[in-house]
């Protein structure tokens, strides 16, 4: 057993709260990545050109594609922006579920796309892929389908079989942007990365990945898109020149992290442990939660979110923002197991006092 599993003396403060609000990875970067980033500072008067090739080949190998099927961006947020901008025309619509990560609609709004939201169930926030297909069929012009899988804030997945079948039968003017920011945390054995569609020749799919989550590198801003060389060439016109997008420490840390399978396994394992600690407490409280596949849990709460946020903040715990229209729900990022034990102790204390 790791030391984090022992009873602990975590003492958060207003200066150093437990941060469960941004789906970050509380473990910190892999030690090898931290060393690589630190020592790169001394060389950061230079551009990192000479080191990009290595990172690109490691990432390409990971996805079983060639180097020209990878386009780096400063975080996957910028890949969302550039992918949408590269395909925006006055006739294009963006198709998204009602409750999903906001950046797709944000950028589609900037570039004046029509945004078609398919309804989500009020019970469990699930949506039907058939409704998205219908929206594409009903639209005369091109469609961009932005699908976050697993989804944020719900933490749930859509069926890989169904998604693959749709892509295979899709119109060529339908672009699929599959955002897999949290893909490495998934436990459901039926889940597959959509990168295999690209390996199998699909030209209308972009898979977006990030080093911000499983690699714990949110502050270093490294993300990328996987797609056919032709598709990425088009997107590349809307990001800085490939060799200029990333910082020297970002390139070096990402390269080291790609070669740290033990850290990645630890990151996943620790997240599983944190989820188990937290969902056991939710079970005790009788608060329903969705079957989470990520480093956060979407669950019901007994008080309005604003009140819950304030009481948690009084205990130095920062939690997720509101996700309208999901009133009465809270998105709790998973911290370290130690942090989650602290959170659970606070919740039990609040429950005993009738405060939740
Ligand atoms: N996509 C999803 C679904 C996210 O939740 C996030 C961040 O939380 C991002 C993309 C952006 O991440 P980054 O720009 O750090 O890669």
Ligand 1 in reach of 210 Cβ (< 6 A):
yes
| Residue 114 alpha carbon to ligand 1 centre in Å | 22
With the most atoms of ligand 1 within 8 angstroms of its CB, the residue from 23, 25, 59, 77 to mutate is: 77
Q: What is the dihedral of CA 208, 209, 212, 213, to 10 degrees?
A: 110
Ligand 1 in reach of 274 Cβ (< 6 A):
no
Tell me whether strands 223-226 and 296-300 are parallel, antiparallel or unpaired: unpaired
Ligand 1 in reach of 333 Cβ (< 6 A):
no
Closest atom, ligand 1, to C-alpha of 22: 8
pTM comes to 0.96
| Residue 221 alpha carbon to ligand 1 centre in Å | 10
Q: Where in the chain is the domain with CATH 3.40.640.10?
A: 31-258
Residue 346 phi/psi, 5-degree rounding, is -65, -45
Please give the distance of CA 65 from its chain centroid, rounded to a whole number: 22
**Residue of the CA atom closest to atom 4 of ligand 1:** 181
pLDDT-based confidence at 242, cuts 50/70/90?
low
Ligand 1 in reach of 212 Cβ (< 6 A):
yes
Closest atom, ligand 1, to C-alpha of 182: 3
pLDDT-based confidence at 241, cuts 50/70/90?
confident
- 174: its two tokens: 């339908």
Cβ atoms of 148 and 179 closer than 8 Å: yes
Query: Which CATH number is 31-258 given?
Result: 3.40.640.10
Write down the pLDDT at residue 7: 53
Q: Where in the chain is the domain with CATH 3.90.1150.10?
A: 3-28+261-352
| Residue 295 alpha carbon to ligand 1 centre in Å | 12
Res 4 pLDDT > 50? no
Cβ atoms of 200 and 63 closer than 8 Å: no
Closest to 245 (Cα-Cα) out of 70, 24, 31 = 70
pLDDT-based confidence at 5, cuts 50/70/90?
very low
**Residue of the CA atom closest to atom 6 of ligand 1:** 181
Ligand 1 in reach of 267 Cβ (< 6 A):
no
Question: What share of the chain in percent tops pLDDT 70?
Answer: 97
SS3 per-residue string spanning 172-187: CCEEEEEECCCHHHCC
Ligand 1 in reach of 339 Cβ (< 6 A):
no
SS3 state of residue 249: helix
Helices marked H in 64-194: 76-86, 103-110, 129-137, 160-168
ipTM, two decimals, is 0.99
Ligand 1 in reach of 75 Cβ (< 6 A):
yes
| Residue 354 alpha carbon to ligand 1 centre in Å | 36
Residue 3 burial (10 A CB sphere; 0-12, 13-18, 19+): exposed
**Share of the chain residues as helix, strand and coil, in percent rounded to the nearest 5:** 45, 15, 40
C-alpha 339/C-alpha 346 separation (Å) is 11
Query: Residue 352: how many CB atoms within 10 A of its CB?
Result: 9
Write down the pLDDT at residue 295: 98
Domain 3-28+261-352 has CATH 3.40.190.10: no
């Amino acid at each position: 057993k790791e030391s984090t599993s022992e009873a602990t003396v975590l003492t958060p403060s207003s200066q150093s709260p437990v941060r469960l609000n941004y789906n970050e990875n509380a473990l910190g970067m892999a030690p090898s990545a931290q060393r690589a980033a630190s020592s790169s500072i001394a060389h950061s008067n230079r551009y990192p050109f000479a080191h990009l090739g290595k990172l690109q080949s490691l990432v390409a190998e990971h996805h079983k594609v060639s180097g020209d099927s990878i386009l780096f961006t400063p975080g996957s947020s910028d890949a969302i922006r550039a992918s949408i901008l590269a395909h925006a025309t006055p006739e294009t619509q963006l198709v998204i579920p009602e409750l999903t990560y906001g950046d797709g609609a944000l950028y589609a709004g900037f570039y004046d796309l029509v945004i078609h939201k398919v309804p989500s169930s009020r019970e469990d926030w699930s949506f039907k892929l058939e409704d998205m297909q219908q929206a594409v069929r009903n639209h005369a012009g091109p469609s961009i389908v932005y699908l976050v899988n697993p989804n944020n804030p719900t933490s749930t997945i859509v069926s890989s079989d169904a998604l693959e079948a749709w892509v295979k039968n899709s119109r060529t003017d339908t672009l699929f942007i599959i955002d897999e920011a949290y893909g490495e945390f998934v436990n459901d054995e039926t889940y597959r990365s959509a990168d295999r569609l690209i390996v199998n020749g699909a030209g209308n799919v972009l898979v977006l990945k990030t080093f911000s989550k499983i690699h714990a590198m949110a502050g270093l801003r490294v993300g990328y898109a996987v797609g056919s060389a032709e598709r990425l060439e088009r997107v590349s016109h809307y990001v800085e020149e490939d060799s200029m997008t990333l910082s020297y420490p970002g390139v070096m840390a990402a390269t080291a992290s790609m070669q740290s399978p033990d850290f990645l396994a630890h990151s996943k394992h620790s997240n599983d442990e944190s989820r188990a600690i937290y969902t056991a407490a939710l079970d005790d409280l009788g608060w329903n939660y969705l079957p989470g596949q990520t480093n956060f849990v979407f669950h019901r709460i007994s008080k309005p979110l604003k009140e819950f946020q304030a009481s948690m903040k009084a205990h130095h715990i920062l939690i997720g923002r509101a996700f309208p229209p999901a009133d009465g729900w809270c998105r709790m990022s998973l911290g370290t197991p130690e942090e989650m034990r602290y959170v659970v102790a606070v919740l039990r204390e609040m429950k005993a006092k009738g405060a939740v």
